[in-house]
Amino acid sequence: MTDEMRAFAEKYGISLTDPDLKRIYDLEMSAKRDQASALYNARNEGIELGMQNAVKGMAAQGLSSDFIAQCLKMSQEMVEEILAKEIK
């Protein structure tokens, strides 16, 4: 039994001899990992959407794709890919 499992059992008032302790602990940890993963993915999607909007806005102002790439620290290929999607 790990120290984390002992702390978990104490926090939730579960007996250390409970045969389901590990299963309950594993479910709790799995739920926390899933939640952290969902937050991480949502954050990355938000950053990606923000970058796409920045590229589109800068292009709408007449800035070149190479200048946009330099400003946003992106490859020119990524900028052109975003702009190509906008055209479709």
Q: What is the pLDDT of residues 37-46, one digit of tens each?
A: 999 999 999 9
Is the model's pLDDT at 86 over the cut of 80? no
Among 1.10.3470, 2.60.40, 1.10.357, 1.10.10, name the CATH number for the domain at 3-87. 1.10.10
Own/partner pairs, 44-50, CB within 8 angstroms, 24+ separation: none
Is the model's pLDDT at 34 over the cut of 70? yes
Higher pLDDT, 88 or 34: 34
Position 65 scores a pLDDT of: 93
Position 85 scores a pLDDT of: 87
Those residues whose C-beta lies under 8 Å from the C-beta of residue 14, and which sit 6 or more positions away, are 8, 21, 24
